[in-house]
Amino acid sequence: MSVRIKATATSRGIGTNSIVEHSGRAARNSLERAGIRPEQVGVLINAGVFRDSNTVEPAVSALIQKEAGIGLDYHSPDDATTFSFDLMNGAVGVVNAIQVATSVLETGGAEYVLIVSGDTHPSLTRSVADDEFPYATAGAALLLERTDDAEGFGRVHTVTGTGTPAVQAYVDTATMGTVGRGLMTVEREPDFTDRLLGVALEAALAALADQDLSGLALIASTPAPEFPKLLADALGIDQDAVRVPDLAEGDPHTAALPLAYDRALAEGTLAGYNRVLFVAAGAGPSAAAVLYRLPA
Among 177-191, 199-213, 216-230, the least confident range: 177-191
Over residues 71-90, the mean pLDDT reads 79
Q: What percent of the chain has pLDDT over 70?
A: 97
Are 93 and 176 in a shared domain?
no
- Positive or negative torsion for Cα 285, 290, 291, 292: negative
Q: Say whether both 89 and 207 belong to one domain.
A: no
- Residue 166, SS3 per DSSP: coil
Cβ atoms within 10 A of the Cβ of 72, count? 12
Residue 5: per-residue pLDDT: 97
Beta strand residue intervals within 83-137, DSSP E? 83-86, 112-119
148-184 b/e (C-beta count within 10 Å ≥ 16 → b): eeebbbbebbbbebeeebbbebeeeeeeeeeeebebb
Q: Indicate if 136 and 164 belong to the same structural domain.
A: no
Among the listed residues 220, 247, 248, 259, the one whose alpha carbon sits nearest the alpha carbon of residue 117: 259
- 172 and 198 co-located in one domain: yes
Total Cβ atoms within 10 A of residue 218: 25
Q: Which of 106, 135, 98, 112 is nearest to 291 (CA)?
A: 98
Q: Which long-range contacts (CB under 8 A, 24 or more apart) does 177-183 make?
A: 180/54, 181/53, 181/54, 181/122, 182/53, 182/54, 182/122, 182/123, 182/124, 182/125, 183/54, 183/122, 183/123
| 221 contacts 108 by C-beta, under 8 angstroms | no
Instruction: Give residue-wise pLDDT tens across range 223-264.
Output: 999 999 999 999 999 999 999 999 999 999 999 999 999 999
Q: What is the mean pLDDT of the chain?
A: 93
Q: Are residues 196 and 275 in the same domain?
A: yes
pLDDT at 9 over 90: yes
Most confident of 154-158, 171-175, 210-214: 154-158
Last residue of a domain, one of 149, 178, 208: 149
58: alpha, beta or left? (left if phi > 0; alpha if psi -120 to 50): beta
Percent of residues in the chain assigned helix, strand, coil, to nearest 5:
30, 25, 45
CA distance 65 to 258: 18
How far, in Å, CA of 242 to CA of 235, rounded?
12
Q: Last residue of a domain, which of 114, 149, 184? A: 149
- For residues 242 and 287, membership in a common domain is answered with yes
Lowest mean pLDDT, pick from 4-13, 135-144, 169-178: 169-178
Straight-line distance from the first to the last Cα atom of the chain, in angstroms, rounded to the nearest whole number = 16
Residues 186 and 271 in one domain: yes
CA-CA-CA-CA torsion sign (108, 109, 113, 116)? negative
Q: What is the mean pLDDT of residues 191-203?
A: 96
Instruction: Show the domain range for 101.
Output: 2-149
Each residue of 97-119: pLDDT tens digit? 999 999 999 998 899 999 999 99
* Domain final residue, candidates 149, 179, 212: 149
Q: Do 138 and 9 belong to one domain?
A: yes
- Count of structural domains, the chain: 2
Query: What pTM was estimated for this model as a whole?
Result: 0.94
Q: Each residue of 124-168: pLDDT tens digit?
A: 998 999 988 999 999 999 999 999 888 999 999 999 999 999 999
Residue 195 is predicted with a pLDDT of 96
Q: Contact at 8 Å (CB) between 77 and 239? A: no
d(CA 205, CA 238): 15
**pLDDT, tens digit, 9 for 90 and up, residues 29-75:** 999 999 999 999 999 999 999 999 888 888 999 999 999 999 876 66
Question: How many other CB atoms are found less than 10 A from the CB of residue 79?
Answer: 11
Contact 7, 39 (CB under 8 A): no
Cα 33 from Cα 27, distance rounded (Å): 10
Q: What is the CATH number of the domain that holds 231?
A: 3.40.47.10
User: How high is the pLDDT of residue 185?
Assistant: 83
Burial class (CB in 10 A: 0-12, 13-18, 19+), 225: exposed
Is 139 found in the same domain as 176?
Answer: no
Asked if 9 and 132 sit in the same domain, the reply is: yes
pLDDT of residue 74: 61
Instruction: Specify the pLDDT at position 133.
Output: 92
Residues 127 and 207 in one domain: no
Question: Do residue 142 and residue 10 come from a single domain?
Answer: yes
Of residues 281, 284, 50, the one with CA closest to residue 167? 284
